[in-house]
Amino acid sequence: MDNWLVHHDLRAPGFGTPRVRLYAEALAMTAWAESRGCPRVVLSEHHGVADGYLPSPFVFGAAVAARTSTIRIMVSALVLTLHDPFSIAEDVAVLDTLSDGRVELTVVPGYVAEEFAMFGVPFDGRGALFEEKLEAFTTALTGGPATYRDRTVTVTPPPVQRPRPFVIVGGGAPRRAARLGDAYLPAVPDEALAEAYVAECRRLGKGDGILLWPTGPMWVFVTDDPDRAWAELGPHALHEANGYGRWAAAVPGSSPFRPAESVEELRASGRYAVVTPEECVALVRTLDPRSALQLKPLVGGLDPDVGWRSLELFADRVLPALDAPPPGP
């Protein structure tokens, strides 16, 4: 099975695992995942969040690179609009060198107004600013001269990957993704976005492009006892869902997350899959081939011992079943 990943955003609310242990366990879990054949770890970025949401994925990515040798390191999503395109291109190039060419990126314009205020970046007109920075950023990653406004710069050293690391464009602007990215990840699973992306790729002579698809559960947690697991992880999942949900409510269409009043409501929504190994196998076999199964063993500062139990069950009872031929009719 090659369409699964481990995701860390390292939220550490006060009722959860202390941050120092959370970071250490995330690194250990990533190395473990690599040893079990996991193709990709995803690191996310947000800023100024009370729970300490990971603000510096490239620093953490460097620690991942030092602990691993094959797993792909995806920063998703990089809120490019908040950054100087040349400074962040340097970070990408250094991480790509440290990891010997394992960096992948999903870049987005961003949708959290407070972050823009924090960095002194205008929130209105962020789409046009994102495009301007994205063109400079991707050009800079090739190792050639790149221009942003009144500056022409050559970023050194260049990334290991040539012509540059893979750049997915996320969000709700499919034509932009077709023009400026290597692939498109819609913010929500809207077929109209997919159709517009494919049409623009064809118009540009890029075939059908590469479309990734945000369907299936937000993440999967494997357990022999879903009721017990929900009791353990429910407050952490609720913290996550409501954190994302508050951001999404301010910019409709920016995210599939919705706030929930209780753990029971969140569980009933089906957005998170807390499943037995057998249910997980069945779920994977119904996934859209453009999607990936996402494991988030430290969601919302969850006790790492709980997360490790889920990971071990996934490795011991889900992966072998998926590598075996499916049962006949």
Give a yes or no: residue 213 inside a domain: no
Q: Are residues 59 and 120 in the same domain?
A: yes
Q: Are residues 29 and 110 in the same domain?
A: yes
Give a yes or no: residue 46 inside a domain: yes
Residue 35: its pLDDT value, please?
97
Q: Are residues 58 and 164 in the same domain?
A: yes
Give a yes or no: residue 329 inside a domain: no
Q: Are residues 196 and 230 in the same domain?
A: no
Count of residues making up the chain = 329
**Beta carbons of 191 and 244 less than 8 angstroms apart:** no
DSSP state of 302: -
Q: Are residues 195 and 226 in the same domain?
A: no
Give a yes or no: residue 15 inside a domain: yes
**Beta carbons of 79 and 49 less than 8 angstroms apart:** no
Structural domain count, the chain: 2
Task: Name 4's bridge partners.
Answer: 293
CA 251 to chain centre: 19
The closest of 312, 298, 247, 258 to 12, measured between CA atoms, is 298
Residue 4: its pLDDT value, please?
96
Phi, psi of 270 (to 5 degrees): 80, 5
Reported pTM: 0.95
For 219, the token pair is 């993440």
Q: Are residues 172 and 142 in the same domain?
A: yes
Q: Are residues 260 and 154 in the same domain?
A: no
Q: Are residues 111 and 249 in the same domain?
A: no
CATH number for the domain that contains residue 111: 3.20.20.30
Measured between alpha carbons, how far is 4 from 293 in angstroms, rounded to an integer? 4
Of 203, 235, 253, at which residue does a domain stop? 203
Of 203, 231, 255, at which residue does a domain stop? 203
**Beta carbons of 294 and 218 less than 8 angstroms apart:** yes
Measured between alpha carbons, how far is 329 from 326 in angstroms, rounded to an integer? 9
Quick check: helix, strand or coil at residue 115? helix
**Beta carbons of 168 and 105 less than 8 angstroms apart:** yes
Phi, psi of 327 (to 5 degrees): -65, 150
Type of residue at 56: S
Q: Are residues 30 and 159 in the same domain?
A: yes
Give a yes or no: residue 35 inside a domain: yes
Low-confidence ranges of the chain (pLDDT < 70): 253-254, 325-329
Q: Are residues 109 and 190 in the same domain?
A: yes
Give a yes or no: residue 216 inside a domain: no
Of 203, 237, 260, at which residue does a domain stop? 203
Q: Are residues 161 and 58 in the same domain?
A: yes
Give a yes or no: residue 294 inside a domain: no
Q: Are residues 194 and 248 in the same domain?
A: no
Give a yes or no: residue 215 inside a domain: no
Range of the domain at 62: 4-203
